[in-house]
């Protein structure tokens, strides 16, 4: 299958590599040329802009930072809609505001282009090994048509509902992940402040009800102070902001999400926004006046 792919960042590039490994023909575009060159070396074809991708491909994946970027490459100058044929499918795998997903989808539909929102969870490690979780909103027949292609990048691909539902599911995921990371950081710093070994506490509780993927993935990184980004604080701030905006639009109360957002804003103020979101432990270290250790 010939696939267009726009957005070759920390997630998009390894996703492209997995599509190439699966035998798909890729036409790629990214503002940064180095990622394009790497994928061309692996067999992809470079496009000069989003419109060029739209002209050559009947299905196009976008993996971009936020809603304005998706709008720009789909509907902006030299965007996909300038050249795409009627019946073209855009699969937006970015994590954006579901309200904007619906708005972009409606405008593309007027031009004969179908949009699915298909955000992912799992961060860079799962993008690399092709085991992302994908949550898809849009037309069910289109979902069925591209399910196998999406599975080339994923461990699970789940249809959630109509357009926008994919990003609703992703924002729900990001709320849960943020609050879990905060809970792990709070519990481990509490343990150390109380005179217990955080590592032994972690070993003791990981097999019980408190056990979780977040606990197992993030607790060791917190204790070892390894904050190289799998998912950056600044991206989680973006997702929580989208969640709060969507929640406000429908009068859904998100008090814990608001608190997690403020903690992450503190990290940003200290210059930690490029670090992994598990650096949320630094917030607790500062207010508890300790440095977490095993």
Do the Cβ atoms of 74 and 90 come closer than 8 Å? yes
Give CA separation, 283 vs 98, 178, 182, 268, 278, in Å: 30, 13, 9, 10, 10
Q: How far apart are CA 88 and CA 78, in angstroms?
A: 16
pLDDT given for residue 231 in this prediction: 87
CB-hemisphere CA count at 13 Å for 143? 19
Q: How far apart are CA 288 and CA 136, in angstroms?
A: 41
Whether the pLDDT of residue 52 is over 90: the answer is yes
Q: How far apart are CA 189 and CA 213, in angstroms?
A: 19
Q: Which residue has tokens 């009800």?
A: 209
Tokens standing for 175?
A: 């709320």
pLDDT given for residue 230 in this prediction: 82
pLDDT band at 68 (very low <50, low <70, confident <90, very high): very high
Handedness of CA 95, 99, 104, 110 (dihedral sign): positive
pLDDT given for residue 125 in this prediction: 87
Burial of 242 (0-12, 13-18, 19+ CB in 10 A): buried
Which ranges constitute the DSSP H helices of 158-232?
Answer: 165-193, 198-205, 213-224
Pairing of strands 114-117, 89-92: parallel
| Average pLDDT score, the chain | 96
Q: How far apart are CA 206 and CA 212, in angstroms?
A: 7
Q: What is the pTM of this model?
A: 0.89
Whether the pLDDT of residue 264 is over 90: the answer is yes
Identify which of 256, 246, 247, 95 has the alpha carbon closest to the alpha carbon of residue 175: 256
Which ranges constitute the DSSP H helices of the chain?
Answer: 12-21, 33-41, 50-56, 67-75, 80-83, 98-110, 123-129, 140-151, 165-193, 198-205, 213-224, 233-249, 255-269, 281-288
List CB contacts of 132: < 8 A, sequence separation 6 or more: 15, 120, 121, 122, 126, 153, 154, 155
Task: Return the domain boundaries, the chain.
Answer: 2-163, 169-288
pLDDT given for residue 123 in this prediction: 84
pLDDT (tens digit per residue) in 88-135: 999 999 999 999 999 999 999 999 999 999 999 988 889 999 999 999
Beta bridge partners of 4: 27, 60
Q: What is the mean pLDDT of residues 34-41?
A: 95
pLDDT given for residue 178 in this prediction: 97
pLDDT (tens digit per residue) in 151-190: 999 999 999 999 999 999 999 999 999 999 999 999 999 9
* DSSP-derived secondary structure letter, 267: H
Query: Is 170 an annotated catalytic residue?
Result: yes
pLDDT (tens digit per residue) in 185-218: 999 999 999 999 999 999 999 999 999 999 999 9
User: Fold match between 2-163 and 169-288?
Assistant: no
Whether the pLDDT of residue 272 is over 90: the answer is yes
pLDDT band at 77 (very low <50, low <70, confident <90, very high): very high
**Which residue among the candidates 13, 170, 218, 282 is catalytic per the annotation?**
170
CATH 3.40.50.720 fits 2-163, yes or no: yes
Q: How far apart are CA 115 and CA 231, in angstroms?
A: 26
CATH architecture under which domain 169-288 falls = Orthogonal Bundle (1.10)
pLDDT band at 36 (very low <50, low <70, confident <90, very high): very high
Identify which of 79, 161, 91 has the alpha carbon closest to the alpha carbon of residue 120: 91
- Report the chain's C-alpha Rg in angstroms: 20
Whether the pLDDT of residue 1 is over 90: the answer is no
């Amino acid at each position: 299958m010939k696939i267009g792919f726009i957005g070759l960042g920390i997630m998009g590039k390894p996703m492209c590599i997995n599509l190439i490994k699966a035998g798909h023909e890729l036409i790629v575009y990214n503002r940064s040329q180095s990622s394009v060159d790497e994928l061309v070396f692996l067999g992809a074809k470079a496009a000069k802009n989003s419109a060029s991708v739209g002209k050559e491909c009947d299905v196009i994946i976008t993996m971009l930072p936020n809603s304005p970027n998706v709008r720009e490459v789909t509907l902006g100058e030299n965007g996909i809609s300038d050249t795409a044929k009627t019946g073209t499918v855009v699969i937006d795998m970015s994590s954006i505001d579901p309200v904007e997903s619906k708005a972009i989808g409606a405008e593309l539909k007027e031009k004969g282009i179908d949009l699915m929102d298909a955000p992912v969870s799992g961060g860079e490690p799962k993008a690399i090994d092709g085991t992302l979780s994908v949550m898809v909103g849009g037309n069910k027949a289109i979902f069925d048509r591209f399910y196998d292609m999406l599975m080339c990048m994923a461990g699970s691909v789940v249809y959630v509902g109509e357009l926008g539902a994919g990003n609703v599911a992703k924002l729900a995921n990001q709320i849960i992940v943020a609050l879990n990371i905060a809970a792990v950081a709070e519990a481990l710093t509490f343990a150390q402040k109380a005179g217990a070994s955080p590592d032994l506490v972690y070993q003791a509780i990981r097999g019980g009800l408190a056990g979780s993927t977040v606990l197992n993935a993030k607790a060791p990184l917190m204790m070892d102070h390894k904050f190289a980004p799998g998912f950056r604080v600044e991206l989680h701030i973006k997702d929580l902001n989208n969640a709060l905006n969507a929640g406000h639009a429908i009068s859904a109360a998100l008090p814990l999400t608001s608190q997690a957002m403020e903690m992450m804003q503190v990290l940003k103020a200290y210059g930690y926004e490029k670090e992994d979101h598990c650096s949320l432990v630094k917030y607790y270290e500062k207010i508890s006046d300790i440095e977490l250790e095993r």
